[in-house]
Amino acid sequence: METKIRQLRQEKGITQQELAESVGVTRQTINALENARYNPSLLLAYKIAKILGENSIEDVFVFNEDD
């Protein structure tokens, strides 16, 4: 699953560590999400979208049917 986490996070001046602390995961989890090595739970995806100021999960995560 592709994400726009890195782009949105950098636009807002938020570090991986800061985002991780805001949503209750480790920095390594944010790194794995940014590099498409991990698919988040629905709750985590919602929290990330909210922290990054997006209106919906689809604004942050791009679902590919091949995934």
pLDDT of residue 67: 53
Domains of the chain by residue range: 2-62
d(Cα 52, Cα 2) in Å, to the nearest integer?
16
Query: What is the radius of gyration, based on Cα positions, of the chain?
Result: 11
Q: Which two tokens stand for residue 34?
A: 């940014």
* pLDDT tens readout for residues 39-67: 999 999 999 999 999 999 999 998 776 65
C-beta of residue 35 within 8 angstroms of C-beta of residue 50: no
User: pTM of this prediction?
Assistant: 0.89
Q: Which fold has domain 2-62?
A: 434 Repressor (Amino-terminal Domain) (1.10.260)
14-34 tens-digit pLDDT: 999 999 999 999 999 999 999
Q: Which residues contact 64 (CB under 8 A, 6 or more apart)?
A: 1, 2
